[in-house]
Structure formats: structure tokens, C-alpha cells
Amino acid sequence: MKDDEKELGERWDRDAPKCWQIMPFYRPHGAEWWVMENLKCIRTLPTREEAFRIAYEHNSKTYGIYAVFVRGACGKNGKWKQQP
């Protein structure tokens, strides 16, 4: 493995768990999107796009990770997604 790839892998392993994530939360009036840090909701937004933008900006500026972990409803079946 090249040194650059090794460094990126180490940084990812160290920083990815700290990145902000998003998750839909369904309420009787409709869904809202949670922006989460360490599985704690730090902000709610009305749309996925707004939540994604907030988390993406934080992750890229703070950790240099240009992606957001998007959880499914109630935190199931999540995936990392890059900005579309």
C-alpha cells in the first residue's frame, strides 16, 4: 500500500466515526431529518437536502471527509453517500 493510501486509511478510521450523520425521523405530521453527532440529534431540518448540506459542510471542513453517513429510519441500514 502506498504511503498516501495508508495515511488516508488511518485518517478515515480515526475521523469517520466522529463525522456528523443524518437520519429521517417520522412523526404524525410527516418526516423531519435529524443531523446527529455520536448518535445524538443536534439539529432537526425539514428536508434531506438541508440536513445533508449541513452535515457535509461540517464533515468536509472539520475532517476532510467529503461524505455523509445517511441512516435509514430508526437508524437501520445506513450507507456513506457523497455529494450528488
**How much is the pLDDT for 80?**
66
**How much is the pLDDT for 11?**
80
Domain residue ranges in the chain: 3-81
Residue ranges with strand state E in 1-84: 21-27, 30-37, 40-45, 68-70, 79-81
Write out pLDDT tens, residues 26-84: 878 788 999 999 889 999 999 999 999 999 999 999 999 999 999 887 655 666 676 65
For 68, how many CA atoms within 13 A lie in the half-sphere containing its CB? Answer: 25
Of the two residues 40 and 5, the one the predictor is more confident about is 40
Of the two residues 11 and 49, the one the predictor is more confident about is 49
**How much is the pLDDT for 12?**
80
